[in-house]
Amino acid sequence: MLYGSDYPLTGILPLISPAAFAKAGLLSEDAVEPLLALQEYHPFRFDFVLKRSLAWQGKRFADSVFATRPFFTRQSS
């Protein structure tokens, strides 16, 4: 997952609610309070942790989605 210059939408406090994700069954209730604290402290990290924490019926984003180092270190042809 790579970011451009746009501010992550999840960093806009009124728009994204960890509690709503938990209520919808996409996020553990235990994750709500730490995410709320992180959302106010560092929106980019909040966005990253939120996306790593979301799950639906036991399925999550693959870890490889969050591994961007190869994108930046690959050699150009």
Residue 33 lies in a domain: yes
pLDDT band at 70 (very low <50, low <70, confident <90, very high): confident
**Domain presence at residue 67:** no
Pinpoint the alpha helices (H) of 1-77: 18-23, 29-41, 43-53, 69-73
Residue 4 within a domain: no
Whether 23 maps to a domain, the answer reads yes
Longest dimension (CA), the chain: 48
In a domain, 75, yes or no: no
32 assigned to some structural domain: yes
pLDDT at 63: 86
Report yes or no on whether pTM surpasses 0.75: no
> What range defines the domain where residue 28 resides?
11-56
Pick the closest to residue 2 from 65, 46, 73 (CA basis): 65
In a domain, 73, yes or no: no
Helix (H, G, I), strand (E, B) or coil at 26: coil
User: What's the structural domain count of the chain?
Assistant: 1
pLDDT single digits (tens) 7-23: 666 656 667 889 999 99
With a cut of 80, say whether residue 3 has pLDDT above it: no
| 66 in any annotated domain | no
Average pLDDT over residues 57-65: 89
